[in-house]
Each structure stands twice: as structure tokens, then as C-alpha cells.
Amino acid sequence: MHPAATPAFWHERWTSNQIGFHQATTNELLSRHWHLDRGRVIVPLCGASRDLAWLAARGHSVVGVEFSELACARFFEEHELLPEREGNRWRAGAVTLVQGDFFAFSEPGAFDAVYDRAALIALPPGVRPRYVDHLRHLLRAPRGLLIGFEYDQQKRDGPPFAVMASEVRALWPEAVEVERRPVDEERWRALGGASEVAWRITAAA
């Protein structure tokens, strides 16, 4: 099993502050391509993403699921919010963070949409089908936005893992590519380049 499939791997990343995946601003692809009205949105493996607050500010009830207690605490600290805590749930305003294993999280059919920026690409290949199956179980219909990542996986081990278009379409037949942009960072240019890809998931596709 790849270490990235285990909670311990991500706990260590947050403990040692190896969190290059944590963005300081809202993801631009989210702000350009989120297309859904108000509803309940699930954000798997959410970390302390500022995208949670962006979705909440647009009228969504947002539930993020995250392994790390440090990540949960950081989200509320960065937004100067004092969360209410009940068991493994942290809540302030329209954002609830559930601390724990995503695969143990069960609210069947409770969500109108998914936002996935860093979950699918954080998981090794063998785990991805199980992840998508579990996510589908949580959704009323396959709707939302997926932000993928592509590069030559032979030149680097993940995470982030490369999830190519053919795999996205196999996992999410409802997905339509809406934007592809190069990643403007030297570490990726040195490997021959990488692309961030936005996929709109819609039951009508």
C-alpha cells in the first residue's frame, strides 16, 4: 500500500508543515467554473482550504472531511472563527469540518454536490475507484467540480498523483473538461510540465 493511502501519512504532513498543497487564496478554477446554486456541498480531504469559505459565502452549506486535527484548527484560525465542537465535528457558520477517515463518513444521499480539488489526486491509483464509489453514495446525483492534475508520473511519485483524462472519464462518465492550464512552477517545468484541469460533473451530461 502506498503511504499516501494511510491517515498517518497526512498527519505527518501537517505535523511537519509539509503542506505545499495548501493554497493561500481561493482556487481560480473554482471561482471561474463553480456552476451550482445553493445546496449542501461535500469537500473530501479538505485540509484547511480557503475554498470552503468561498463556497459558504455563496450560500452553500459546506461539509469538509479531513484526517488532521491541525488542519481543522488551522481553517478556523485563518478565518478568525471560533468553532463549536461536538465529538469529531467542528462547526462555525455554514462550514462544518468532520475530523476523521473519509471512508468512515456516512451520510448517504445527503449532498447536492461535491467539490474535489485535492482528494482524487492525493490518492494512489488502487484507492481511487473505492473513493469515487463512496463519494457517489453520499451524493443525491453526480454533480460538482473536480480539479485534476496531469504530468508524467514516471518522472515523479505522488502525491499529488497524475490522474489523466482517460481515468477521470472512467471514474466520472458525467465529467466534462471545462479548462486546462499549465502549472507555472519551476519544479513542474523541470519534469516536462504539468497541467491543472477543471472538470464539471453534471448528471445531465
At 74-120, the pLDDT tens digits run: 999 999 999 999 999 999 999 999 999 999 999 999 999 999 998 99
- CATH number of the domain at 3-14+35-201, please? 3.40.50.150
Residue bearing cell 493561500: 24
**Cell numbers for 152:** 508524467
pTM: 0.92
pLDDT digits (tens, 9 = 90+) for 151-164: 998 888 878 999 99
Confirm if 99 and 129 have CB atoms less than 8 A apart. no
Q: Return the domain boundaries, the chain.
A: 3-14+35-201
> Of residues 18 and 104, which shows the higher confidence score?
104
Contacts of 181 (CB under 8 A, 6+ apart): 29, 195, 196, 197
Q: Can you tell me the mean pLDDT for 48-63?
A: 96
Going from the C-alpha of 73 to that of each of 3, 70, 91, the distances in angstroms are 24, 5, 11
Distance CA 53, CA 81 (A): 11
Q: Which pLDDT belongs to residue 205?
A: 47
Q: Which pLDDT belongs to residue 2?
A: 66
pLDDT category at 179 given cuts 50, 70, 90 is very high
